Amino acid sequence: MQIRLNKFLSQAGIASRREADRMIEEGRVKVNSLVIQELGYKIDDAKDKVEVDGRKIWREEGFVYLLLNKPAGYLVTLKDPFQRPTIKSLLPHLKKRVFPVGRLDSSTEGLLLLTNDGELAYRLTHPRYEVKKTYLVKVRGEPDSSSLARMRKGIFLEGKKTAPARVTLLVPTPRESLLKIEIHEGRKREIRRMFEAIDYEVLELKRIGFAGLTLNRLKSGQWRFLKEREIAGLKKQVGMK
């Protein structure tokens, strides 16, 4: 069957489609011993031999889905050249490689989904599907109503307006305040930058919801496999059977 090379790599659990495209552009992917750098290149998945960084690739027969409550201070990567703490030390030993769906920066804690289902990961992080992400945010000071109204309408970051956010002021005090914010974009450090834009410093940031998943009673540093109904719910949201 003819299939796009980036889709084949995502279904094999190598990376998301976007990351697979980057690998292709970097010349790290070979098909039948030839380096392929053409985005949109199609292969015959039954006949062609695909390699990434010299390693032959097969599509995974079974997918793994797990949820981690990431503590602050851990990098969302499986390997760091500077030997800093990474989420890999928190995960179980698996025969199949999983990768994070989206990112949380080192100082942000909370819900992180990991899988080797590249197609699902691609859709969950694609802006087209508007997957909801919910955070608790502690900021210095008490945001005024006009500042929160700006966030609800969208704020310009680097010349591009953010999508409207749902913001609720939960515990306001003059010294520091707790808010809940829901967004569906995935820009780098988006929430921290949004609060910086209205002149409020983020003291703590925790993701408590993603695509309908919640942490529930999962403690910091703990993980669990997703239930079948949760997996089905994720796929339904992004139009997968």
State the catalytic residues: 105
Residue matched to tokens 């309408």: 153
Whole-angstrom distance, CA of residue 151 vs CA of residue 147: 7
Contact assessment for residue 73 and residue 67, using Cβ atoms and an 8 Å cutoff: no
* Helix orientation angle between 17-25 and 118-125, rounded to the nearest 10 degrees: 100
Residue matched to tokens 């980036």: 6
Residue matched to tokens 């030839």: 34
Helices of type H across the chain: 5-11, 17-25, 118-125, 145-153, 190-197, 228-237
Residue matched to tokens 């097969």: 58
Q: CA-based diameter of the chain, in Å?
A: 66
